[in-house]
Amino acid sequence: MIKVSEKYHPTGRQIAAARTLIGMSQPELADAASISVPTLRRMEASPGEATGLANNVSAVQAALEAAGIEFIRPNGGGAGVRLVVE
Q: What is the pLDDT of residues 25-46, one digit of tens each?
A: 999 999 999 999 999 999 999 9
pTM value > 0.85: yes
pLDDT tens for each residue of 17-26: 999 999 999 9
Task: Identify whether the C-beta of residue 15 lies closer than 8 Å to the C-beta of residue 83.
Answer: no
Q: Going by C-beta distance under 8 Å and a sequence separation of 6 or more, which residues neighbour residue 76?
A: none
> Does the pLDDT at position 75 exceed 90?
no
Q: Which residue segments constitute the domains of the chain, with CATH numbers given? A: 4-83 (1.10.260.40)
Q: Going by C-beta distance under 8 Å and a sequence separation of 6 or more, which residues neighbour residue 53?
A: none
| Widest CA span in the chain | 34
